[in-house]
Every structure is written in C-alpha cells, then in structure tokens.
C-alpha cells in the first residue's frame, strides 16, 4: 500500500472508530460487536506502526500515552469551579426563586432541571477543537492536571466533532463516574489480583483518576458526562439548554434526561421524576440541579458569597443514602461518666463507603420513641455523613418474634446498681441517662484512662482504648495516677490478647507510653484540668479556669468560683431585700429604710462579682458549672486528685496567657473551622487562628465572622451560606494568616 492510500485508510479508520465510540457510549446504540470494533482498532494500529509518520495526536491509538508520571501538576482554574447551594424541600426552592425575583423583578421563571451526577467533577479544555488539558475540581480554585488519564476515556473526543467550526477555546465541565455494574466487575478483577477494592462508585472513580499510570486508567471502566461551560472564547449561548445542545453536537456526552420548566413547583416535580427514573441513567444520582436557563439572567444574578445565585442542588431528605439491615442485638456500653449507652449491633452493611456494624441508640427514650426491637429490620443513615443513626423500623418486616428491649437495672460490667440522676434546675425531673453508680466500675476506670490519654487531653501516644481496658483488667492501673507508677518491664509484658493466646504490648510501645507520660508531667494546667474529667469541665472551661488560676490548688480554693456558685443565693437575698418586693409590702417605713440600704449593698456586690468574672475571663461559667467545681475538690475523687498529684510531685502550672494579638490578621474576629485541611490538622489551624488574634468557636452563628472551609465540609458550610457568613478556603486562609 502506498503512502497516500495508507493515509486515506487511516483517516477512514479513525472516523469509523470515533463514530462507533459515539454510537456505543453516547447514543447507547452500538452497531458493531466488540470483536469487530477491535478489528478496526488493530488495523489502524498496524497501519500506524508501519507508517509512523501517519500517527496524529488525536488518533484513537494515542489515548494511552507515555509512561507513568511522578505526580500531578497543580493547575489554577481560569474561573473557579464552584459548588452549589443545597436545598432539601419546596420551601427552600421557593426562597431561591424569591431571592432571584428580589434581584431581578422582571424575571420570567424558566428553569432547567438536570441530574446531579454522583461522581468526580472535572474540567476539560479544548483549544482550537483539540483536547489540551483536563483538570480535577480540587478545592475549586486549584485542581490536578489529569490530562493523560482523561484521554483514556473513549467517550471523550480528543477532537471536537460536528459541522460547526470549534471555538478558539472551550472549557467544558462535568463529572467523571463509574456505573455500579462496572464497579462490581472491576472489584472482581482487583480481588483476584489481591488489590484493594472500592466500596462505592465515587471512591472507584476518584481512585482511578488518581492513578499515576495512564495504562491502568485505560483499563478502568470510567465514564463521563458534561453539563456546563467554564471559560470560553468565541462561543456564546443565550441559554443553558443551548449550551447542552452545543455540547452534544460537539460529540460530548450530556445528561440523557433534562427538563425545562416554567415554575419552581414544576421544577420540583421534575426533580422527583428524575429521581424516580434514576434506573434509566448509567450513573447514580445525588439529587437534581435546578438552574436558571437564561444566561443573561445568570450573569446578572452572579454569586452569593461563594455559590452561584442562579442554580441550586436539590436533594430531598429521603434521597439521602440509607441502607436497610437487621438489628441482631443490643449491647450496653459504659462510658467514662458511668452513663449506660445502648448500642445496636447489626448485620454489617455498606453505606457511603464504609461498613456499618454498630449504631448508637443513645438511650431508652430513643428506643421507645422509634419503637426499636431486637430482630427488627431497620433503615439507617449516616447523620452528617459520619455517625450512623437509625431512621426508622420497617414495620412490614415484623414477624412477631421481635423482642422489646429494656435497660438493665444493674451495670452489665460490674453488676452495681444503676440510677438516673435528678435534673438540676427548678423543674426537676430525671435525666434520661442511666448511670452505673460504682466509681470503681472497670469500664468507667478504663474509659477515664482512655480520656486522660486522648489527643485533646494529655496525648499519651500508644495508650488507646484497648490498652486502657487491659491495664484495668490486669489490675495494673485503676486511676490515671497509677499510670505514672508503671514500670517498663511490667508494661511491656501487658497481655493484649487472651489468657490462652497471649499478645504482648512490647517494649517499643511501652517506652513510647512512658515517654509521653513523662512529658505529661509538665503539661499546662489547662490540659490537666481537662484530662481529669471534672464534670462540666471540657476544653473551653478548662482553659478559662487555668487562665484565672495559677495552680490546681489555687482553683480548689478559689474564692471567686465559690462566689459564682453562691450567686443564686445572692440573687435570692437581693429579691428578699427589695423594699418594693411582695413580701416586704406593708412593712414599717423604718424597716424599709434598712432594707433599701441592704438592697443597694447587695446589688453593688452582684455588680462587682459580674465585673470580676469579666476581668478574669470567666464568662460562660455560671452557678451550675461553678458548683460542680466547688463540690468536686472536697469530694473523695477531688481529694484523691490533689493528694496523688502531690505524691507524684506533679504541680501543673497555667501558661502565661498569651495576650490576644490585637494587630494580628484575625484580631477580634470570631472564626470557625470545618472540614479537612491539607496542611494543618484542625487543632493546628485553630491554634494558628488564636495566635492571630481570633476567637475560635465550634459552631456557626450570625456572630461568626469567618468560616474556614476544608474539603468535605458538611452542615456548617450550609449554615454559613444560609447566614451569608464569608468563607475562606485553605488557600485564602493561609493567605490571610500571612497578611
């Protein structure tokens, strides 16, 4: 075959192969068998290898390029890839529309409703019609360059198709995904090779795209769908539906189902319809996207703080990932404070990427309210995508053999009596929680040791729940103070296994634990106060107490705390001394005079107390908390703490309170951190913020100035958006810290 014949044949083969890719993936109407397709491909390959000068970069044989790469290059998006505001019911959709009408009173409702694909967001750049770059969403501003991986997806054209000449630059945005059947088949293969399998399609997609070797990616059944434009040159579309049509005519896969509606209510119905037809789609959907169709209106609406004002994601609560399983039994856990918590053990189920086998039922009240019985079939979800929770019982699945559960009357660990405490406060009543009343209960002892050793407390590396259990079980430690008397030889031989099958802790870990304990001796007072687990004293209160007192002895004898604890008494005296008060009516004038004097004095006393509380940075500590502290130290437990610390020669000191930086970049700002950051742990980020003068809080409210957002942020981000709180992503946060 001469060269020009070969060139013509190669061109023909490429066009054929591209046409069949399109028929197979986009039209879902293949006309060739896989073998016939492979024949075309092999012929092209042979032709190209005998005439290398015929190879073009867009040839189907060039999808799997070069060698594995070292790592991905970070690329800045030309226009940020934003996420959408989430809505969950028609009311929120109506608010969305109302907000639009407020800004654009003449707006004629006109929406496109399309599936929200549960995959991994990607952006593709076509320059002069050629695929030049593919980028992951990343943090929305910067993503990873995954061009060589994306080129292996056969349904993505390497060159834009169609009769229209391609624009000079077209950025298309969409989602890479894997369908469920393909994931199962892939897992089968991975398992045979002894490789790690993927728990869900999104993990499978993300994991595949992160492969450094494009040859591996080529074997993964990845697919993609595109639904919008990013940065473009020389391409203008009046409406979103025109964009979708254009994407399709360029040979890109677009959503198979989308609808056009003229009211927000119709959009909601369309979204439900879409969800019901999920089975017709090759991907799993994560709800629907409702978007203003008219691009001029979209531009006018622009952005809310961080999300477009012209589109929302819609996901009804019942569409949240749920799973059904069987409740096999209910066991009781005993916590550090003695609280008995019922926990359901269920047949393991996959949900959102992990296997769930235990679910907390919180307390008896919850079990009764949801009428949960042993043997029930239950629907579960992961509240806030983390903690598993029971949604409801499947009544139809009841056989009549289910057993009602009631809380034990004795502690399942130590056999002591259990009781619920009285609620403090005037209204009385009982706490829902039941508590084991034996302070020496092995479970409580172990949990207190575990708490003491936890990261937020004294951070005893190597000492976790399992080690704590065994230390108590073998009688090596009953209190946190016993830890400081452990000898290396003894600790190293701690048996973590059973009597017959021993598994020793080992010298290395034992040394690590002892080193950490030694370091803990000189830990600041705040950490110690927290670690001791005094009721009502958590991280924040411990910090406040430590900033107002130098040592633990100072706190134990604190006059100020005692006065706070007594303040209701003071209030009562003030009321009693009020000459205008009920009980003093009709008293002789002379006596009223005396009362008035006393009243004035007491009011001044109260004012002084409030002032002193502020001065010492003790706001937030009221009578209830103060009383807990005041009663703790003279108690048996409190006495032991003071005595043991003395015996061990440990005297925690409060750190000189670093005066808040009034000139720092976050001076006087209230900041909350959520999600996972790359360069910091959450607590490091919080420490950095405090150093920069910020007040760090744990929840978002209208008093919050900023929300620092890491990846996988949850409800806090939603709340911040609703309240219009400015958010900072990691890059912006670091930037602001430096300034």
Q: Classify 76 as helix, strand or coil.
A: strand
Where is 727: in which H helix or E strand?
Answer: strand 727-729
User: Is 425 a residue that touches DNA (CB under 7 A)?
Assistant: yes
Which of 642, 655, 670, 691 forms a contact with DNA (CB under 7 A)? 670
Pick between residue 140 and residue 162 the one whose CB is nearest to DNA.
140
* Sign of the torsion angle spanned by Cα atoms 344, 345, 346, 348: positive
Which of 3, 386, 490, 679 forms a contact with DNA (CB under 7 A)? 386
Any alpha helices (H) in 379-506, and if so which ranges?
442-453, 465-473, 480-483, 488-492
Pick between residue 43 and residue 459 the one whose CB is nearest to DNA.
459
Pick between residue 196 and residue 503 the one whose CB is nearest to DNA.
196
Q: CA separation (Å) from 642 to 74, 449, 539?
A: 55, 17, 20
- Name the minimum Å distance from CB 692 to DNA: 18
Q: DSSP state, 255?
A: -
Site for DNA in 433-492 (CB under 7 A): none
Q: Kindly state the number of chain residues that form the binding site for DNA, as judged by CB under 7 A.
A: 57
Nearest to 438 by CA among 637, 631, 629: 637
> Stretches 244-252, 262-270, 528-536, 548-556: which one binds DNA (CB under 7 A)?
528-536
- Name the minimum Å distance from CB 316 to DNA: 16
According to DSSP, the β-strands at 169-177 and 223-233 are antiparallel
d(C-alpha 373, C-alpha 697), whole Å: 39
- Name the minimum Å distance from CB 712 to DNA: 8
Query: Phi and psi dihedrals of 553, rounded to 5?
Result: -65, -45
Pick between residue 32 and residue 419 the one whose CB is nearest to DNA.
419
> Stretches 413-421, 503-511, 617-625, 657-665: which one binds DNA (CB under 7 A)?
617-625
> Stretches 45-53, 130-138, 397-405, 535-543: which one binds DNA (CB under 7 A)?
535-543
User: Is 673 a residue that touches DNA (CB under 7 A)?
Assistant: no
User: Is 531 a residue that touches DNA (CB under 7 A)?
Assistant: no
510-511-513-516 Cα dihedral, nearest 10 degrees? 180
> Are the CB atoms for 667 and 720 separated by under 8 Å?
no
First to last CA, the chain: 68
For residue 433, the number of C-alpha atoms closer than 13 Å in the C-beta half-sphere is 14
Distinct helix (H) and strand (E) counts, the chain: 27, 22
> Stretches 167-175, 330-338, 395-403, 681-689: which one binds DNA (CB under 7 A)?
330-338
Which of 394, 423, 490, 572 forms a contact with DNA (CB under 7 A)? 423
Residue 712: Cβ within 10 Å count: 11
- Name the minimum Å distance from CB 466 to DNA: 11
User: Is 698 a residue that touches DNA (CB under 7 A)?
Assistant: yes
Pick between residue 430 and residue 648 the one whose CB is nearest to DNA.
430
User: Is 710 a residue that touches DNA (CB under 7 A)?
Assistant: no
- Name the minimum Å distance from CB 427 to DNA: 9
- Name the minimum Å distance from CB 552 to DNA: 16
User: Is 156 a residue that touches DNA (CB under 7 A)?
Assistant: no
Which of 613, 677, 688, 694 forms a contact with DNA (CB under 7 A)? 613
Q: Classify 231 as helix, strand or coil.
A: strand
According to DSSP, the β-strands at 706-709 and 670-674 are parallel
* Sign of the torsion angle spanned by Cα atoms 447, 448, 450, 456: positive
With vertex at residue 269, the alpha carbon angle to CA 267 and CA 274, rounded to the nearest 5 degrees, is: 90
User: Is 110 a residue that touches DNA (CB under 7 A)?
Assistant: no
> Stretches 77-85, 353-361, 485-493, 643-651: which one binds DNA (CB under 7 A)?
353-361
User: Is 668 a residue that touches DNA (CB under 7 A)?
Assistant: no
Q: Classify 351 as helix, strand or coil.
A: strand
Residue 718: Cβ within 10 Å count: 15
User: Is 83 a residue that touches DNA (CB under 7 A)?
Assistant: no
Pick between residue 439 and residue 714 the one whose CB is nearest to DNA.
714
Pick between residue 357 and residue 551 the one whose CB is nearest to DNA.
357
Which of 15, 181, 383, 687 forms a contact with DNA (CB under 7 A)? 383
Any alpha helices (H) in 212-263, and if so which ranges?
214-219, 240-249
> Stretches 120-128, 269-277, 288-296, 352-360: which one binds DNA (CB under 7 A)?
352-360
According to DSSP, the β-strands at 311-314 and 354-360 are unpaired
Where is 528: in which H helix or E strand?
Answer: helix 525-531
Whether 116 is catalytic is yes
> Stretches 8-16, 172-180, 421-429, 587-595: which one binds DNA (CB under 7 A)?
421-429
One of 116, 275, 470, 716 is an active-site residue; which one? 116
Nearest to 659 by CA among 686, 618, 691: 691
Which of 236, 703, 711, 726 forms a contact with DNA (CB under 7 A)? 703
User: Is 538 a residue that touches DNA (CB under 7 A)?
Assistant: yes
User: Which spans of this chain sit near DNA (rule: CB under 7 A)?
Assistant: 333, 335-337, 339, 341, 343, 354-360, 362, 383-388, 423-425, 431-432, 533, 535-542, 613, 619-626, 670, 674, 697-699, 701-704, 713-716
Known catalytic residues are: 116
């Amino acid at each position: 075959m001469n060269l020009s014949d070969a060139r013509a044949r190669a061109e023909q083969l490429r066009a054929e192969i591209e046409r069949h890719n399109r028929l197979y993936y986009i039209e879902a109407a293949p006309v060739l068998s896989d073998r016939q397709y492979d024949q075309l491909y092999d012929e092209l390959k042979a032709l190209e290898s005998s005439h290398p000068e015929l190879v073009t970069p867009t040839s189907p044989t060039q999808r799997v390029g070069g060698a594995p790469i070292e790592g991905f290059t970070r690329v800045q998006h030309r226009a940020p890839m934003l996420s959408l505001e989430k809505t969950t019911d028609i009311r929120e959709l109506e608010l969305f529309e109302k907000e639009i009408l407020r800004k654009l009173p003449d707006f004629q409702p006109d929406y496109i409703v399309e599936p929200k694909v549960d995959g991994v967001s990607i952006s593709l750049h076509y320059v002069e019609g050629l695929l030049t770059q593919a980028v992951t969403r990343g943090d929305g501003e910067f993503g990873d360059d995954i061009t060589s991986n994306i080129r292996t997806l056969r349904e993505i054209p390497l060159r834009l198709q169609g009769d229209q000449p391609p624009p000079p630059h077209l950025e298309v945005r969409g989602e890479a995904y894997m369908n469920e059947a393909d994931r199962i088949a892939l897992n089968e293969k991975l398992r045979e090779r002894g490789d790690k399998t993927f728990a869900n399609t999104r993990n499978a997609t993300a994991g595949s795209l992160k492969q450094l070797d494009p040859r591996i990616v080529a074997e993964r059944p990845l697919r993609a769908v595109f639904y919008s434009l990013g940065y473009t040159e020389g391409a203008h579309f009046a409406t979103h539906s025109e964009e979708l049509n254009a994407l399709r005519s360029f040979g890109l896969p677009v959503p198979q189902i989308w609808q056009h509606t003229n009211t927000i209510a119709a959009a909601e119905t369309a979204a439900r319809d879409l969800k019901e037809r999920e089975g017709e789609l090759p991907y799993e959907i994560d709800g629907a996207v409702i978007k203003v169709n008219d691009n001029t209106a979209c531009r006018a609406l622009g952005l809310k703080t961080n999300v477009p004002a012209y589109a929302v994601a819609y996901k009804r609560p019942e569409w949240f990932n749920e799973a059904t399983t069987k409740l096999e039994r209910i066991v009781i856990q005993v916590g550090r404070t003695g609280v008995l918590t019922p926990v359901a053990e269920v047949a393991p189920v996959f949900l959102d990427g992990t296997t769930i086998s235990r679910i907390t039922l919180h307390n008896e009240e919850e079990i009764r309210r949801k009428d949960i019985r042993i043997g029930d079939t239950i629907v579960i979800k992961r509240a806030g995508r983390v903690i598993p929770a029971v949604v409801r019982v499947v009544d139809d699945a009841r056989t009549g053999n289910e057993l009602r559960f009631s809380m034990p009357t004795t502690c399942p660990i130590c056999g002591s009596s259990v009781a619920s405490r009285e609620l403090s406060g005037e209204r009385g009543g009982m706490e829902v929680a039941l508590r084991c009343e034996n302070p020496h209960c092995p479970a409580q002892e172990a949990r207190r040791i575990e708490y003491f050793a936890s990261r937020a407390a004294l951070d005893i590396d190597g000492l976790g729940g399992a080690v704590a259990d065994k230390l108590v079980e073998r009688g090596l430690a009953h209190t946190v103070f016993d830890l400081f008397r452990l000898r290396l030889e003894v600790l190293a031989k701690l048996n973590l296994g059973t009597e017959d099958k021993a598994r020793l802790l080992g010298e290395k870990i034992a040394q690590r634990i002892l080193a950490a304990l030694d370091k803990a001796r000189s830990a600041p007072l705040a950490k110690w106060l927290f670690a001791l687990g005094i009721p009502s004293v958590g991280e924040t209160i411990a910090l406040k107490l430590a900033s107002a007192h130098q040592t633990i002895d100072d706190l134990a004898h604190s006059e100020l705390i005692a006065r706070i604890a007594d303040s209701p008494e003071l209030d009562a005296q003030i009321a009693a001394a009020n000459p205008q008060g009920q009980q003093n009516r009709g008293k002789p004038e002379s006596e009223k005079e005396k009362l008035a004097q006393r009243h004035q004095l007491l009011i001044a006393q109260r004012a002084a107390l409030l002032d002193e509380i502020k001065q010492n940075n003790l706001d937030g500590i009221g009578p209830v908390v103060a009383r807990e502290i005041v009663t703790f130290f003279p108690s048996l437990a409190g006495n032991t703490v003071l005595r043991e610390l003395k015996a061990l020669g440990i005297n925690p000191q409060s750190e000189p309170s670093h005066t808040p930086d009034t000139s720092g970049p976050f001076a006087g700002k209230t900041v909350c951190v959520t999600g996972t950051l790359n360069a910091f742990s959450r607590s490091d980020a919080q420490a950095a913020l405090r150093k920069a003068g910020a007040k760090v809080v744990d929840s978002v409210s209208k008093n919050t100035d900023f929300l620092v957002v890491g990846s996988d942020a949850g409800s806090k981000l939603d709340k911040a958006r609703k309240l219009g709180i400015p958010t900072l992503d990691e890059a912006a946060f670091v930037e602001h810290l430096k300034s």
